[in-house]
Amino acid sequence: MTPFKGLMMLEYAGSPCSWGESVWLNKPTFEASLAALEDLSKKRIALSPPNVSLVGLRVTNPDIARASVVRNPRLQGTFQTDKGLMLIDCSLLVRFANGGYYTNYNLGGLPKGMNRQEEFHPTPEWQQLFRSYAEAIREHCVMVNLRHLRKGEERPVSAKGTVINPIQEAMPIRIAMKRRGIGPVYLPRGRARNRKKS
Higher pLDDT, 6 or 182: 6
Question: ∠85-40-128 over CA atoms, to 5°?
Answer: 60
Amino acid at 52: V
Q: Give the span between the Cα atoms of 42 and 145, in whole angstroms.
A: 26
CA distance 176 to 170: 17
Residue 157 pLDDT: 54
Give mean pLDDT, residues 152-157: 64
Q: Are 117 and 38 in contact (CB under 8 A)?
A: no
**pTM across the whole model:** 0.83
Q: How far apart are CA 165 and CA 180, in angstroms?
A: 27
Cβ contact 164:63 at 8 Å: no
Q: Where are the alpha helices (DSSP H) in 48-143?
A: 124-140
Q: Please provide residue 38's backbone torsions phi and psi, each rounded to the nearest 5 degrees.
A: -65, -40
| pLDDT at position 196 over 70 | no
Nearest to 148 by CA among 105, 99, 95, 181: 99
pLDDT for residue 158 is more than 50: no
Identify the band that residue 160 occupies on the pLDDT scale cut at 50, 70 and 90: low
- Distance (Å, whole) CA 94 – CA 101: 14
Residue 89 vs residue 129, higher pLDDT = 129
**Contacts with 79 (C-beta within 8 Å, 6 or more apart), sequence order:** 46, 47, 48, 49, 111, 125, 126, 129
The domain ranges of the chain are 4-188
Q: CA 61 to CA 22: how far, in whole Å?
A: 12
